[in-house]
Structure 1
Amino acid sequence: MQNQIVTPGNVLGSDGSLSQHGYSTQAVLGFNRDGIKAPSHRIKEWDFYQVSNDHYCLQLTIGHVSYAGDVSVKLFEFETGKRFDFSNMLVLPFSGLNMPSSAEQGDLTYSKKGFHMQFQVIDGERRLICKSEGSSKSPTIDIDIRLTQPDRTSIVLATPFDDDKRFFYYNHKINCMPASGFARIGEKEYPFESDTAFGLLDWGRGVWPFSHEWFWGSGSGYVDGKRFGFNIGYGFGNTSAATENILFYDGTAHKLGHVYFDLQGSGGYMAPKVFTSDDGRFEMEFTPIYDRLTKTKLLIVDTQCHQIFGKFSGKAVLDDGKTIIVKDLVAFAEHAVNRW
């Protein structure tokens, strides 16, 4: 079953539970944060941007799990493994970050002690800015990147958790945004060009159980001169009403059912894997090239994530039956285990 949400309204009803379960390809529901009835320490909110090409990847995050938060810059090279990590861990931020109630409008800014990060949402594009004066332990940072949005096609998911009717996940992911600009870390500059680089937004708001596990994969690129992308995953609550699995091709969304993948399987995370869907419309071989392993421990937070970047090759079938042949598309699939 794939329930598409088409009726506008609030994300949350009067009892604090989701008013509708399912997916949409644009934001139909409005996130009414004041409708949350669960304890405030269970609220989690984040804006995560990723900008990448076939050689390196930049990640910018502003987010929190109520009693802990993170404002971070990560940049890593796939071939060499060279990696830069800057993270400003926040204690007890709760609602202090003033996270926007929509992924489609509202800027997000964090500034403190010689560090500035801002995510701007402009009609038809986004601008990602980060500047840091640096220190004896960290180099200067100068980032200015523009992401264009030729269309508003995306995947929006509203899913409940079975643990408590007041628990939910409202998520908006946007793929296939051509990226241009630069990330300068110390003396090293990493350029991004719109014909080879794409941006991704993972915008999440919700009330989560303390222990959780998910699998997520995402990719964007050009196939036969057209923008092509996918979002796959499971573990984000009860997805019986709709999965978040979807294809994007030339500005149009094509919904998928279940996609199965096991990153921990035979050979471990860096062994070749196979991705397959229950309807035969997403069949890919995956050859890993880099494991971005992250671990976080702060207060009672204990998280670990293997984000495996690699090359996807195979086929994707659109709603009209057209088959898209994919060859060596650099994208990622991840496995996260969280106690937060």
Structure 2
Amino acid sequence: MALPEITERVALTLPDGSLDRRSVGWARQPLVDTSGVARDGLRRWTRHTGRNKRWEYWGVVTPTHVLALTVSSLDYAAVHEVWVLDRETGRTFGATATVVPARGVELPGSLGDGPARARAKTLAIDVDEVDGGTRLRARTRDVSFDVVAELPPGHERLAVVVPWSDSRFQYTVKDVARPTHGTLWVDGRTVDVPAGSSWAVLDHGRGRWPYDVRWNWGAGSGESHGRVVGVQVGGRWTAGTGSTENAVLVDGRLHHLPDELVWDYDLAEPHRPWRVTGGGLDATFEPFHTKVTRTNLGVVSSSTDQCFGTWSGTFTPPGGETSDGHDAGAVQFDGLVGWAEEVHNRW
């Protein structure tokens, strides 16, 4: 049974810190108030099992580079990263920081309610809401960038609450195909992040997770065949909850896919295309770079294989309707730059 579409502001948690079941569903905008997850809410939640997670991840693709930043507080530590890939040479730049216990980190109670900031010895990150979008600034010893991810009028964003139980749940906002412009400074050069061919994706998360979890996530953005298309796909971690984080954005209009998708890939063959199908979507992802991250701190560990590449395929919206309501059959897309990943966390 498909979960309901949320159309009004609702709180993620009840006063005792447990899940407010009225928030379970999906929305076209970030309507869920997660302020109960932060500050006093975090102290209240420590009575329950499970670890509280809050993060902002932004990925930006340009014709020449991929930029990424992470600001996070994972209950026991603050974990941040600034990462830049030169698409032509394959060289990477940036820094990571793990701060135990979590300090030097600021995250808004709810999306859009304030800045996200990280300060550590190796990096500095600032995420600020500004007129017309979100400003992303990051700096390490060898790279920095200052870009604005625009928020066009009417642009829709997938917001989903995933309920494992009343005490373990996750709220995610996946925001794809945000037009982006700005400047990158890397390897002694100033590089333009050009409007019209640069795109940003947000992964905003607030919740309390099981200890051992695996997931897939893929996203791609761009202009194809005269339309702005964003692909957002996920899997594994939502199985059995009734929620999914699958959607396709066409010219700013979000089409939510309520069913789990089928993922076909092989990490042992890093150049082999991935395929993701279901719900009217038939998408192929062709990697051009793989970022492998392994962390093992005993009780806490993380394994991430994030492949960067291009998406192509077709999407048939429910009823075959485009954003303006006209019957157009399948939406074709190709050349959407983004990523696909497999993650296993014990956290």
Please say whether Structure 1 and Structure 2 have the same fold, judged by a TM-score greater than 0.5.
yes
Q: Residue type matched to 2:162 in 1?
A: T
SS in 2 for 1:104: coil
Residue 277 of structure 2 corresponds to residue 276 of structure 1: yes
Q: 1:287 Cα shift?
A: 2.0
CA distance in 1, matches of 2:156, 2:145: 26
Q: For the Cα contact (< 8 Å) 1:18–1:158, is it kept in 2?
A: no
**CA displacement 1:130-158 (0-9 Å, x = unmatched):** 234x3xxxx3x332111111034101111
**CA displacement 1:144-177 (0-9 Å, x = unmatched):** 1111110341011111225xx3111011121111
CA distance in 1, matches of 2:101, 2:200: 30
Q: For the Cα contact (< 8 Å) 1:54–1:330, is it kept in 2?
A: no
Q: Any gaps of 5 or more consecutive residues in structure 2?
A: 321-327
Q: For the Cα contact (< 8 Å) 2:145–2:184, is it kept in 1?
A: yes
Q: Give the direction of change, closer, same or farther, for the CA distance of 1:146–1:122 in structure 2 (3 Å limit).
A: same
Q: Give the direction of change, closer, same or farther, for the CA distance of 1:6–1:184 in structure 2 (3 Å limit).
A: same
Matches within 5 A, 1:60-99: 60-93=69-102, 97-99=105-107
**CA displacement 1:193-224 (0-9 Å, x = unmatched):** 12111011111111111111000111110023
SS in 2 for 1:6: coil
Match of 1:201 in 2: 202
Q: Give the direction of change, closer, same or farther, for the CA distance of 1:114–1:237 in structure 2 (3 Å limit).
A: closer
CA distance in 2, matches of 1:261, 1:182: 35
CA distance in 2, matches of 1:310, 1:260: 19
Q: For the Cα contact (< 8 Å) 1:45–1:65, is it kept in 2?
A: yes
Match of 2:325 in 1: none
Equivalent position to 1:58, from 63, 67, 70:
67
Q: Give the direction of change, closer, same or farther, for the CA distance of 1:261–1:143 in structure 2 (3 Å limit).
A: same
Matches within 5 A, 1:258-273: 258-264=260-266, 268-273=269-274
Matches within 5 A, 1:1-340: 1-19=2-20, 20-31=23-34, 32-33=36-37, 34-35=40-41, 37-39=44-46, 42-93=51-102, 97-111=105-119, 115-132=123-140, 134=141, 139=142, 141-150=143-152, 151-162=154-165, 165-237=166-238, 240-256=241-257, 257-264=259-266, 268-277=269-278, 279=279, 281-298=280-297, 300-321=299-320, 322=328, 323-340=330-347
Q: Residue type matched to 2:53 in 1?
A: K
Q: For the Cα contact (< 8 Å) 1:38–1:167, is it kept in 2?
A: no
Q: For the Cα contact (< 8 Å) 1:48–1:59, is it kept in 2?
A: yes
CA distance in 1, matches of 2:332, 2:120: 47
Q: For the Cα contact (< 8 Å) 1:52–1:199, is it kept in 2?
A: yes
Q: For the Cα contact (< 8 Å) 1:183–1:191, is it kept in 2?
A: yes
Q: For the Cα contact (< 8 Å) 1:46–1:203, is it kept in 2?
A: yes
Q: For the Cα contact (< 8 Å) 2:265–2:273, is it kept in 1?
A: no
Q: Give the direction of change, closer, same or farther, for the CA distance of 1:193–1:159 in structure 2 (3 Å limit).
A: same
SS in 1 for 2:110: coil
Q: CA RMSD in A?
A: 2.3
Q: 1:78 Cα shift?
A: 3.5
Q: Give the direction of change, closer, same or farther, for the CA distance of 1:299–1:181 in structure 2 (3 Å limit).
A: farther
SS in 2 for 1:170: strand
Q: Give the direction of change, closer, same or farther, for the CA distance of 1:12–1:306 in structure 2 (3 Å limit).
A: same
Q: Residue type matched to 1:147 in 2?
A: A
CA distance in 1, matches of 2:146, 2:212: 36
Q: Give the direction of change, closer, same or farther, for the CA distance of 1:116–1:284 in structure 2 (3 Å limit).
A: closer
SS in 2 for 1:172: strand
Segment drifting more, 65-74 vs 39-48: 39-48
Q: Any gaps of 5 or more consecutive residues in structure 1?
A: none
Q: Give the direction of change, closer, same or farther, for the CA distance of 1:295–1:113 in structure 2 (3 Å limit).
A: closer
Q: Give the direction of change, closer, same or farther, for the CA distance of 1:111–1:327 in structure 2 (3 Å limit).
A: closer
Give aligned-pair identity as a percent.
Answer: 26
Q: Name the TM-score, length of structure 2 as normaliser.
A: 0.87
Q: Give the direction of change, closer, same or farther, for the CA distance of 1:115–1:261 in structure 2 (3 Å limit).
A: closer
Q: 1:28 Cα shift?
A: 1.9
Q: For the Cα contact (< 8 Å) 1:284–1:313, is it kept in 2?
A: yes
CA distance in 2, matches of 1:26, 1:201: 13
